[in-house]
Chains A and B, each alone.
Chain A
Amino acid sequence: MGNWVVNHWFSVLILVIWFGLNVFLFVQAFLQYETDDKYYYTREILGSALAWARASARCLNYNSMLILVPVCRNLLSFVRGTCSFCSRTLRKPLDHNLTFHKLVAYMICLLTAVHIIAHLFNFERYSRSRRATDGSLASVLSNLSHHGKEGDAWLNPIHSPDTTLLYVTFTSIAGLTGVIITIALILMVTSAVEFIRKHYFEVFWYTHHLFIIYIIGLVIHGVGGIVRGQTKKSMEESHPHECAESFEKWDDPDHHCRHPQFEGHFPQSWEWILAPCILYAFERILRFYRSRQKVVITKVIMHPSKVLELQMKKRGFSMEVGQYVFVNCPSISFLEWHPFTLTSAPEEDFFSIHVRVAGDWTEKLIKAFEQQKLPLPRIEVDGPFGTVSEDVFQYEVAMLIGAGIGVTPFASILKSIWYKFQRADHKLKTQKVGHAAINFDKATDILTGLKQKTSFGRPMWDNEFSTIATAHPKSVVGVFLCGPQGLAKSLRKCCQRHSSLDPRKVQFYFNKENF
């Protein structure tokens, strides 16, 4: 637990600030619409639902602004690079960008629900006061003319008592865009659940581009100015505190109060999301620019178990261990970019990826290269992105555990360690590295070609841990996993069990890094 806090305090701080800002913006907008005299008459019809809707809208603007930032991968790499003097702990949140993206997405879903429910009440109340014939203030306000000499006098967007709510919704800009962007949001969320993302990546990839509709719809959503408050001029002439009581006499020319005048306000969403949209547009332009750069495939290797290794070169490409790239193959699919961990070491003069069949695109890629037809299919590469696994090099003893294709990030690390040994790199603390590659068919090390002790069957973790604890009684051992949740749980328990209570003796630190 203490280890976790030391490593993650900065991420927690960012989350607290993010959530705190949400609360602050919500409360501020809520109080504004609940107490400001400008909306006195609006509240007369709508009640508190107005404030709920506007407060959630402000938070939606804020979160929609934030959601694009964690997926600006080049920006994050730039920040990571410029802040290399910062400690690793300060840069750790950059590695959890997708977690933050999902968190903001959940918040958007929650706020959307609040916003829609509040507006359902608003529309219902507008509709009721439109049809009311009891001569109350609400009905008088609702009957303020849409076409009168005063022009913009109207408050209630529902023009006539016979108009149905469905009609108003689908003929107003706010209603129509609201429905469309909510549908886009729902489709994005249902296709992004882990089950779909893992097994049917293309469904997720294409559907998630509905975010373009979400952004455009969000910007247009407020254009109609359907939320109205009293104009300044009207408030100077007939302030609600003085005039609200005497609303029956508004028609009377001798009375000091006139009909109140209302105006909508300018849409605000664009102010919030303009900057992140521009940043993200740059990212996509950069990806397009990179895709034009030539990638030379220097070697194609087909490994057993249908794993394809592609060794490539690209001018100006430089990588670190543990990073990943996005790969596009125009002959298979013009639009899809798929992420792959780099399996080569930075010290090598090429970079490589290992691809196994996991769906349509990977199957077609492997088939295309299997045929060995020249010219080889063109490959485009964007990246590298992602966390640098320099953590591994900080431990005297490192245990790297990879399951199945999860061994790929460790391939890069192991090769790099080997090179560093060769070149007597003094910064390398690591003295001993143990690698457990769990393969279900054959225990062949197809990735690194490094010599390793090959055992068969599932390791008995307790045995492994106690062996290492006995062999290195005074060391700090870093345990790194790239594999399933179940394995993570058992390894974490082993780390706790085998770490000595004496901080000077052997300590196991568990790192489940999402490579």
Chain B
Amino acid sequence: MGQIEWAMWANEQALASGLILVAGGIVATAGRFTQWYFGTYAIAAGVLVCLLEYPRGSRAKGSTLERCGQRYLTAVLKLLGPLSRNYYFRAALHLALSVPAGFLLATILGTVCLVIASIIYLLAAVRGEQWTPIEPRPKERPQVGGTIKQPPSNPPPRPPVEARKKPGEEDATPAGGPPGGPRVNPIPVTDEVV
């Protein structure tokens, strides 16, 4: 459980819920169902949810894949400050937005999905997660040959001949040991100089 960022899944779920709300709302409004004005509300709420959830937050570790064109909305969300950062607020907002749509059959699916997203956001908030915007990286122009660093001047260390003659021992080298340290090769390696 330690490394799971629940907010990431909550984000996918909320985005899907927004789309479902919009779809249900369109059906109810276009079909002029009974109490169709709830459908109009659902369209508005769904659009709001989609706009809020479209920019993906940055992962705690490692790089995060942006959604296409999300930087414009990211800029807007950054202006909202704690309202966009805090997941307690998002959980409460989604819960509140989902309630009116629960009165109409056409939009009840959107309601349930959004409530689930709200619960997952609550879990994320409890675990101290926060929304951090993905900062645009300066465009790197990979120069031809630019990544070739100074090759090492010494050849890689090879274990001494004696160590290589003992293939049967359990060899659990802890990480952080000397690089290329005593290690039994699965197949005997012949030492041909390149």
Chain B residue at minimal CB-CB distance from A128:
B34
Chain B residue nearest to A305 in the complex (CB): B175
Contact B27 A360 (CB under 8 A): no
Partner of A190 from the list B13, B34, B194 (CB cut-off 8 Å) is: B13
Q: How close is B11's CB to chain A, nearest CB, in angstroms?
A: 9
Assess whether B65 is interfacial by the CB under 8 Å rule: yes
Bound-state Cα–Cα, A406 to B13, Å: 30
Cβ B9 vs Cβ A191 within 8 A: yes
> What B residues does A301 contact at CB under 8 A?
171-173, 183-184
Which B residues are in CB contact (< 8 Å) with A182?
A: 109
Measured CB to CB, the closest approach of chain B to A216, in angstroms, equals 19
- A448, B108: Cα distance in complex, Å: 56
A388-440 residues with Cβ-Cβ distance < 8 A to B are 415, 418
On whether A186 and B16 interact (CB within 8 A), knowing A165-B105, A166-B108, A203-B4, the answer reads yes
B112 interfacial by beta-carbon distance below 8 Å: yes
- The residue in chain A whose Cβ has the minimal distance to the Cβ of B142 is A458
A359 at the interface (CB under 8 A from B): yes
Most chain A beta-carbon contacts within 10 A, residue among B9, B59, B116, B145: B9
Contact partners of B175 in chain A: CB under 8 A: 302-306, 370
A360 close to B2 (CB less than 8 A): yes
| Per-residue contact bits, chain B 73-104, to A (CB 8 Å; 1 contact, 0 not) | 00000000000000000000000000000010
- Cα distance A314–B8 when bound, in Å? 39
Q: A residues within 8 A CB of B8?
A: 195-196, 199-200
Once bound together, how far apart are the Cα atoms of A111 and B177, in whole Å? 56
- State which of B40-48, B129-137, B185-193 sits at the interface with chain A: B185-193
The verdict on A299 contacting B4 (CB below 8 Å), with A124-B31, A179-B112 known, is no
Chain B residues with CB under 8 A of A348 = 186
Chain B interface helix/strand/loop/mixed? loop
Q: Is the CB of A444 within 8 A of B156?
A: yes
A444 x B180 contact (CB < 8 A): yes
Cβ of A451 within 8 Å of any chain B Cβ, yes or no, is yes
Contacts A195-B8, A203-B4, A301-B183 given; indicate if A460 touches B145 (C-beta within 8 A).
Answer: yes
Q: A120-B105, A449-B185 are in contact. Are A456 and B145 (CB under 8 A)?
A: no
Are B190 and A451 closer than 8 Å at their CB atoms? Answer: yes
Within 8 A of A (CB), among B135-190: 142, 144-145, 147-149, 151, 156, 170-175, 177, 179-180, 183-187, 189-190
A contact residues around B34 at 8 Å (CB)? 124, 127-128, 165
Give residues of chain A (182-206) contacting chain B, Cβ–Cβ below 8 Å: 182-183, 186-187, 189-191, 193, 195-196, 199-200, 202-203
Q: Which residue of A has the minimal Cβ distance to B105? A: A165
A449: which B residues are within 8 A, CB to CB? 185-187, 189
B183 CB contacts on chain A under 8 angstroms: 301, 303
Q: How far is the CA of A455 from the CA of B148 in the complex (A)?
A: 9
- Check if B49 is an interface residue, CB within 8 A of chain A: no
Residues of B within 8 A of A303 (CB): 173, 175, 183
Contact with B along A45-69 (1 / 0, CB 8 A): 0000000000000000000000000
A301 CB to nearest B CB, Å: 6
Cβ–Cβ < 8 Å partners of A113 in chain B: 23
Q: Determine whether A442 belongs to the interface, using a CB cutoff of 8 Å to chain B.
A: yes
A169 interface residue per 8 A CB criterion: yes
Return A189 CB to nearest CB of chain B, in Å: 7
Interface string of A361-386 (1 = CB under 8 A from B): 00100000110100000000000000
List 27 A–B pairs whose Cβ atoms lie within 8 Å, in order of A's numbering.
Answer: A117-B27, A120-B33, A128-B34, A169-B108, A183-B113, A186-B13, A186-B20, A186-B113, A193-B12, A195-B12, A196-B12, A199-B59, A200-B9, A202-B4, A300-B170, A301-B172, A301-B173, A305-B175, A348-B186, A352-B186, A360-B2, A360-B4, A449-B186, A450-B187, A451-B192, A458-B142, A460-B145
The chain B residues found within 8 Å of chain A, CB to CB, are 1-6, 8-9, 12-13, 16, 20, 23-24, 27-28, 31, 33-34, 56, 59, 62, 65, 103, 105-106, 108-109, 112-113, 116, 142, 144-145, 147-149, 151, 156, 170-175, 177, 179-180, 183-187, 189-190, 192, 194
User: Chain A: residues with CB nearer than 8 A to chain B?
Assistant: 113, 116-117, 120-121, 123-124, 127-128, 165-166, 169, 179, 182-183, 186-187, 189-191, 193, 195-196, 199-200, 202-203, 299-306, 311, 344, 348, 352, 359-360, 363, 369-370, 372, 415, 418, 442, 444, 448-451, 453-458, 460
Which 4 pairs of residues, A with B, have the shortest CB-CB distance? A449-B185, A457-B148, A457-B147, A458-B147
Further pairs besides A200-B8, A302-B174, A457-B147: 19, Cβ < 8 Å: A124-B34, A165-B105, A166-B108, A182-B109, A183-B113, A186-B113, A191-B9, A203-B6, A299-B170, A299-B184, A301-B184, A305-B175, A306-B175, A344-B186, A352-B186, A359-B3, A360-B1, A415-B186, A449-B189
